Amino acid sequence: MFDSLRKKWKVGGVQLLLIIATFAIGGSLTGYAGKKIMNHLPLVPDWLWTLIYIALITLLWPVAVLLVSFPLGQYRFFSKYIRRILFKMGFHSMKAGELPKKHIAIFASGAGSNAQKIIDHFRGHPTIRVVLIVCNKPGAGVLNIAIKEGIPALIIETERFFRGDSYLPEMEDASIDLIVLAGFLWKVPSALIQKYPERIINIHPALLPEFGGKGMYGANVHSAVLAAAKKQSGISIHLVDDQYDHGKVLFQANCPVQEGDTIESLTQRIHALEHLHYAPEIEKYIKENV
C-alpha cells in the first residue's frame, strides 16, 4: 500500500511518512476542535447534532491539515491535494483555474520538432499543459520554440544535473507531473527517476529491445538498422528507468525499411511516426496513470 501511495503521489519514502503524519495529526486536531465547538452548542436532537458535527468537521479538516503541513514542510503537497478535492466536490471556480491541470516538462537537446508537435497537441487542452522546456544545449533550436510559444526554458549544466540536485527545485516550482524526453541526449539521473517514478517518458526511433542502449540515438540507430538489413523499423514510446532504453514499452508503431533507403530517408519516415503518435500517447498515459 505504501509503495503504491509513494508512486501515486510521486514522493520519496521520507516525504510519504511526513504526509501520513500530517494526515494523522490534522485529523486528530480536527476531531478535538470539532468536539470543543460542539460542546458549546445548545441541546439539539441527536440527528441534527450529527449533521452539524459532520459539516463542521468537513470545514475544519482542510484548515487543520494546512496548519499542520507548515511545520512538517508539506504545505505545497496539501494545498494541491485540497484543491483537487474541492474540484471533485464541484467547486470549479477556485483560485488559479477552472480545472486542475497536469504539468509537462519537455526535455530536449536539438531542433525540437517533437517538442513543437507536443506543444501544438496540448495547446488549449483543458487539463494538460506544457509548462517548461529543459535543454542542455544553449544554442538548440528548441529554445527558439520556447520563446515563440511563451514557455519558460531552463538551460541545464552537467555538474548540477548529474552530481547536484538534478534541478529538482525547478521541477517542484513548476509543479511538474510528467517529464517527456523529446530528443534529449543525456541519461536521466537517478534523483529525477526516484522523484518521478513511472512519470518520465521517452521515444526511441527503433523497435525496442532491438537497437537500444548507450549511444543508440538518431542517425546511429538508423545506420544500425540499415546495416542489419532489417525489413522494418519503427518507434517505441517507453517509461524511463536507470538503464538506457530499458523501461516498460507503452506503445510501438512500425514502418517498412525500403530497398535503397538511406539514413536520411529512413529518418524522415521515423519522424513521421513520432509526430503522429507521441503526443496522443502522452495524453493517453496521463489520463490513465498520472
> Comparing C-alpha atoms, which of 25, 35, 14 is closest to residue 67?
25
pLDDT at 105: 98
SS3 content of the chain, % helix, strand, coil (to 5): 50, 15, 35
Map grid coordinates 520519496 to a residue.
12
- Alpha helix segments (H runs only) across 39-112: 46-69, 75-88
* Mean predicted confidence (pLDDT) in 16-41: 89
Alpha carbon dihedral 66, 8, 175, 202, in 10-degree steps, equals 170
For residue 18, give Cα distances in angstroms to 15, 22, 34, 193.
5, 6, 24, 21
Cα 276 to Cα 271: distance, rounded to the nearest angstrom: 8
pLDDT at 76: 81
Q: Which of 40, 121, 125, 204 is catalytic?
A: 204
Higher pLDDT, 26 or 76: 26
| 204 tagged catalytic | yes
Confidence of residue 89 (pLDDT cuts 50, 70, 90): low
Structure pTM?
A: 0.69
All three cell numbers of 172, joined, read: 517542484
Cα 117 to Cα 142: distance, rounded to the nearest angstrom: 12
pLDDT at 128: 95
Which range, of 9-23, 177-191, 213-227, averages the lowest pLDDT? Answer: 9-23
Burial class (CB in 10 A: 0-12, 13-18, 19+), 66: middle
All three cell numbers of 289, joined, read: 496513470
- Three-state DSSP at 87 gives helix
pLDDT at 224: 96
Cα 202 to Cα 244: distance, rounded to the nearest angstrom: 10
- Alpha helix segments (H runs only) across 109-217: 113-122, 141-149, 158-163, 168-173, 190-195
pLDDT at 99: 57
pLDDT digits (tens, 9 = 90+) for 204-241: 999 999 999 999 999 999 999 999 999 999 999 999 99
On whether the CB atoms of residues 237 and 278 are closer than 8 A, the answer is: yes
Q: Could you give the residue range(s) of every CATH 3.40.50.170 domain in the chain?
A: 102-289
- The fold of 102-289 is Rossmann fold (3.40.50)
- Within 10 angstroms of residue 172's Cβ, the number of other Cβ atoms is 12
